[in-house]
Amino acid sequence: MRFRDLKKQSKEPKKAQTAHVAYAGFLQRTKAFVTDIFMIGLPVALVIMIVFGYEETKSAGALDVIVQDAQALEHEPNPAASIVQIMLIMGVHVVLWRRDGQTPGKKFSNIKVVDAKTLEEASYPRLIVRFIAYFISFLSIIGFFLIFLRKDKRALHDLLSGTAVIYSQ
| Alpha carbons 107 and 115: distance in angstroms, whole number | 17
Please give the C-alpha separations between residue 29 and each of 6, 103, 124, 127, 162, in angstroms, as whole numbers.
48, 11, 21, 16, 17
What are the two backbone dihedrals, phi and then psi, of residue 114, each rounded to the nearest 5 degrees?
Answer: -135, 165
Alpha-helical regions (H) of the chain: 3-11, 26-36, 42-52, 62-66, 70-74, 79-100, 104-108, 124-140, 142-145, 156-161
- What are the residues facing 23 on neighbouring strands? 166
Per-residue pLDDT of the chain (169 residues; tens, 9 = 90+): 566 665 566 555 554 445 688 999 999 999 999 999 999 999 998 998 899 887 776 776 655 666 666 766 677 777 888 888 899 999 999 999 999 999 999 999 999 999 999 999 999 999 999 999 998 998 888 899 999 999 999 999 999 999 999 999 7
In terms of pTM, does the model score above 0.85?
A: no
**CA torsion 147→92→44→166, rounded to 10°?**
30
